[in-house]
Structure 1
């Protein structure tokens, strides 16, 4: 017996609906969380000032003398404030150097020390929060699904003693806070992973799993519209008259 279009469409809609229904749920749940969440809290801005503090400097004799200590040709220079220190971030063809303007004895370095980073993070906190621990991370410590993925390395992870389990990541060579991660961000990241269906890097939105489920979702919605069309009393009456 030949099956009707109504029967075939209903079966197709039912099975596709069951198959991608869970993903539809996660898409909706993620959308609700993204739209109702405080993005400032997700990015850690409610706990600290992540904005880089810069200053303009002049090429006086003191600065010229410091720049002479840089061993490679210089590409660009940025004046930054770290704690109470005025520092020149010097980028060369071979790497980065930090020149401390108020340290004549040992002005040049390849990066901030652990002690400097601790003071740096404490100076950026909006309230007094204790530091639980610090750890140095390089490329061997960062996996594809690490919360500090695809960011400049090496980095110091500064773990704060706070209910949000906030970690502040500071790049010692850049003398810069490169990332802030907390529980709110981790929930956001998990739901974003389900949203884009990239279970490794979580940032690849053109993956084939998402493409396939998007097409199946379109088929499911279209079949639902078609079922609605076939179920309209007016359409049924017209079909009866024709037959």
Structure 2
């Protein structure tokens, strides 16, 4: 009986190993890459300063007139510096406004232009890097698996002429850098996709594929422990001694 059980367990363990061995390899490679990587580089902090520069402003007559242009309740107001411009980022329930407060220039706009986006990104770079191209992305020309996902749209994708193929994503209506993506991040993202086994959005860790493979992984481990118990000479000696003593 013990021999039959041992052979059956070995067969099960072997097929389980074949089934999830590759996934075990992906989990291990991913874990090594995640733990040995420079997360500042993954998040683009080595090239781009994503911090926002704020200032205090006076609620004077020109500013009051600017606020009067907004005809709906205001949710929040942030004073930010974008390149050389002092702006107020005003959020309402339906849209965002950018109020320009430079000397003798008070105006309301709903988004930055492509030229302003370029200037903004260049002002946030930690070193002089040329801009290769600028693309405007909306819901219509972006997929679920795109590297810029589950974030506010529309957005400008500013590609830097750099060996890391860095792209800086700037929301024109918020005057804000929302993401920085480079080759290091893309490798990280690919391995993370294999790690969580979500091959579409890459962020959904409660998917059934991962659940099933996790259970199979446990079965492989426990079958290995059981095989050790069945085939270990030490265990046999202990069992013999217990039988003899009893």
* TM-score higher than 0.5: yes
What is the CA distance between 1:76 and its match in structure 2?
Answer: 1.4
Aligned equivalent of 1:74? 74
Deviations 1:171-218 (A, max 9, x none): 000000001111001000000000000000000000000000000000
Q: Decide which moves more: 189-198 or 73-82.
A: 73-82
Aligned equivalent of 2:10? 10
Aligned equivalent of 1:168? 168
* Unpaired stretches in structure 1, ≥5 consecutive residues: none
Q: Give distance in 2, aligned partners of 1:217 and 1:2.
A: 24
What is the CA distance between 1:236 and its match in structure 2?
Answer: 2.2
Q: Give distance in 1, aligned partners of 2:77 and 2:166.
A: 31
What is the CA distance between 1:239 and its match in structure 2?
Answer: 5.2
What is the CA distance between 1:106 and its match in structure 2?
Answer: 5.8
State whether residues 66 and 106 of structure 2, in contact with CA within 8 Å, keep that contact through their aligned partners in structure 1. Answer: no
Aligned equivalent of 2:117? 117
What is the CA distance between 1:15 and its match in structure 2?
Answer: 1.0
Summarize the Cα distance change of 1:105–1:86 in structure 2 as closer, same or farther, 3 Å threshold: closer
What is the CA distance between 1:3 and its match in structure 2?
Answer: 6.1
2:29 is the alignment partner of 1:35: no
For these two proteins, the number of residue pairs brought into alignment is 243
Aligned equivalent of 1:144? 144
Q: Give distance in 1, aligned partners of 2:103 and 2:57.
A: 16
Aligned equivalent of 1:199? 199
What is the CA distance between 1:24 and its match in structure 2?
Answer: 0.2
2:80 is the alignment partner of 1:83: no
Q: Decide which moves more: 49-58 or 75-84.
A: 49-58
Deviations 1:69-99 (A, max 9, x none): 2232222111111001110011112211000
State the SS of the aligned residue for 2:69: coil
State whether residues 63 and 106 of structure 2, in contact with CA within 8 Å, keep that contact through their aligned partners in structure 1. Answer: no
Q: Normalising by the residue count of structure 2, what TM-score does the alignment of the two structures yield?
A: 0.93
Aligned equivalent of 1:209? 209
What is the CA distance between 1:102 and its match in structure 2?
Answer: 1.3
Deviations 1:88-142 (A, max 9, x none): 0111122110000116556100100111000000000011100011111100111
State the SS of the aligned residue for 2:30: helix
Aligned equivalent of 2:157? 157
What is the CA distance between 1:53 and its match in structure 2?
Answer: 1.7
Q: Normalising by the residue count of structure 1, what TM-score does the alignment of the two structures yield?
A: 0.94
Q: Considering only aligned residues, what root-mean-square deviation do their CA atoms show, in Å? A: 1.8
Q: Decide which moves more: 3-12 or 111-120.
A: 3-12
